[in-house]
Amino acid sequence: MAVPCEDGVVEQYLKHVTEVGDRRAITATEDICSTSGVKLLAAGYQVNSSLLDKLLRHKLLKPIDHSCVVENAIDSAYLVSRARELLNEQKEFAALIEQETTGDFLHACFGHMQLPTAIRNKLTVLAEQAPRLIDHSLWCTMGSIFLGQKLDMNMVEERHLASAALLHDIGQLHIDHRILDPKERLDEALRRQVQTHPVIGGSIIDALDVYDKAVSRAVLEHHERADGSGYPGGLRGDQMSLAGRILSFIEFSLGIRQSAGARHLAIVIRTYAHQFDPVITRVFWEHFNVAEPLEKYPFDTRDIPALYARLSDILEGWEAVQEHASAQAWTLAERDFRAIRRAFSSVGLAPDLIEDLEASEPDSEAHLEACSVLREGLRQAREATDILSRAAQDDPDMRKDTVVLEWLENTTQALNAR
């Protein structure tokens, strides 16, 4: 997967760092110099927004995190303290940990964490600029280690998994800053940038030469799926590390749970189980209460006919053009849309069922199931078309398939317009 150009990646992060420098002290620990030898800031001076234009005019000799220190930067004590606060807000998960784990669970998650200055700086900037993301990373660490222990990981494997879970989203600091705003509507260009963050994060970790390669590998894999429908590499389950498979499942599950609730998550996991390691899914299902039948369903089930029509149009459009898809890259569409069709079949989604649901009282379990499957199908279709659109920019064979390319452009526009 191609990532944003190096200058763009550096520029976005420098904006974050200098903004944070206006709120808390960031001190240069050595002279900050350009690759051409120009001293941009002397050791001991402060990094803040007044320095941004100057920094952006030059290519830095070292990444900014290697030449400065953030005041009161995040450390293991902070991670444990904040994780404990999060657990106190989620009594059910806290009780599960107490019942199902032995020893000091939070120490197992964070006590052995390698936190060089550059990573402490980056985590602090993440916490300042996107508090929800640092909390999400803490939850991912706790959820991943819980599953890792149930899957009999050894201590070394757990430590690598914990580091990967904590750091899996640091790449988001290096892409368009609007992505960190939960209120920002992601257009096609922003979604494509989002899909580069595993590559950026993995590269940052590798460049530090502190962590085992297992850490950067799991970070790179945290949006892959066992059926090959993920990104950035379209890996299948047997091509992924165990840490990557655990992190992929936990990251997805927490994201769905936090944004749409447990009822939606339960339906999605059951319907799209083929996307995840079956052993990990079974262990999760055995220990986590994802049903919560009394929880309010977050979507309007009256949208079912419109959702079904939109997704059916996409699937039928693909079937109409797939015979013209000669480039190898189009196999992604065939694989992903076949998976969505399989999900349709698993819950009996067909015109007759849609008519029956329209005629019956809303919000039955059948309504909830249909609505969740359709919404997840549309999300996956959007993700697939974004990946294909990006691939088509660099693949001359795809650009020769003009009929399919026209379908892709129309479908992407339709998905992003809603």
pLDDT digits (tens, 9 = 90+) for 5-57: 465 678 999 999 999 999 999 999 999 999 999 999 999 999 999 999 999 99
Of 321, 306, 278, 298, residue with least CA distance to 372: 298
Which H or E run includes 189? helix 188-194
Q: Are 227 and 334 in contact (CB under 8 A)?
A: no
**Residue 366, pLDDT above cutoff 50:** yes
d(CA 224, CA 418): 26
When the pLDDT of each residue in the chain is averaged and rounded to a whole number, the result is 90
**Residue 339, pLDDT above cutoff 60:** yes
- The pLDDT assigned to 1 comes to 45
Residue 123 lies in a domain: no
Q: In terms of residue numbers, what domain contains 60?
A: 6-70
Mean pLDDT lowest for which of 37-41, 147-151, 224-228? 224-228
Residues 110 and 221 in one domain: yes
d(CA 333, CA 337): 6
Residues 176 and 195 in one domain: yes
In the listed set 54, 70, 86, which residue is the last one of a domain according to the structure? 70
Residue 169 lies in a domain: yes
Q: Among residues of the chain, what percentage have pLDDT more than 70?
A: 94
Q: How many beta carbons lie within 10 A of that of residue 365, not counting itself?
A: 10
91's CB contacts (< 8 A; 6+ apart) are none
**Residue 289, pLDDT above cutoff 80:** no
In the listed set 70, 86, 103, which residue is the last one of a domain according to the structure? 70
**Residue 149, pLDDT above cutoff 70:** yes
d(CA 269, CA 345): 15
Residue 320 lies in a domain: yes
Looking at per-residue pLDDT, the higher value among 187 and 260 belongs to 260
Looking at per-residue pLDDT, the higher value among 330 and 181 belongs to 330
Residue 392 lies in a domain: yes
Q: Which amino acid is at 117?
A: T
Mean pLDDT of 278-303: 79
Residues 150 and 244 in one domain: yes
Q: Which residue's structure tokens are 């070292």? A: 62
Which H or E run includes 32? strand 32-33
Residues 150 and 280 in one domain: yes
Q: Which amino acid is at 106?
A: L
The number of C-alpha atoms within 13 Å of 411 and in the hemisphere containing its C-beta is 31
- The pLDDT assigned to 323 comes to 94
Residues 371 and 249 in one domain: no
- Label residue 188 by pLDDT band (50, 70, 90): low
Rounded to whole angstroms, what are the CA distances from 391 to 1, 202, 322, 336, 385? 8, 21, 17, 15, 10
Residues 100 and 215 in one domain: yes
414's CB contacts (< 8 A; 6+ apart) are 310, 313, 314
Residues 150 and 275 in one domain: yes
Residue 195 tokens read as 């899909």
- The pLDDT assigned to 90 comes to 86
Residues 203 and 87 in one domain: yes
Q: Are 171 and 201 in contact (CB under 8 A)?
A: yes
The model's pTM? 0.86
**Residue 120, pLDDT above cutoff 90:** yes
Residue 292 lies in a domain: no
Q: Are 146 and 100 in contact (CB under 8 A)?
A: yes
Residue 387 lies in a domain: yes
Residue 83 tokens read as 């994780």
**Residue 216, pLDDT above cutoff 90:** yes
Residue 364 lies in a domain: yes
d(CA 390, CA 408): 11
pLDDT digits (tens, 9 = 90+) for 245-258: 999 999 999 888 88
Helices (H), 296-330: 304-321
Looking at per-residue pLDDT, the higher value among 178 and 109 belongs to 109
d(CA 185, CA 191): 10
Residue 125 lies in a domain: no
When computed from its CA atoms, the radius of gyration of the chain, rounded to whole angstroms, is 23
Mean pLDDT of 61-72: 96
Q: Are 380 and 358 in contact (CB under 8 A)?
A: no
**Residue 179, pLDDT above cutoff 80:** no
Ramachandran angles phi, psi of 112, nearest 5°: -105, 15
- The pLDDT assigned to 269 comes to 87
Domain count for the chain, please give it: 3
- The pLDDT assigned to 292 comes to 52
CATH number of the domain to which 283 belongs: 1.10.3210.10
Residues 66 and 80 in one domain: no
Q: Which amino acid is at 234?
A: G
Residues 63 and 82 in one domain: no
Residues 181 and 222 in one domain: yes
Residues 196 and 319 in one domain: no
pLDDT digits (tens, 9 = 90+) for 372-416: 999 999 988 988 888 888 888 889 999 999 999 999 999 988 887
d(CA 171, CA 207): 13
Q: Are 217 and 202 in contact (CB under 8 A)?
A: yes
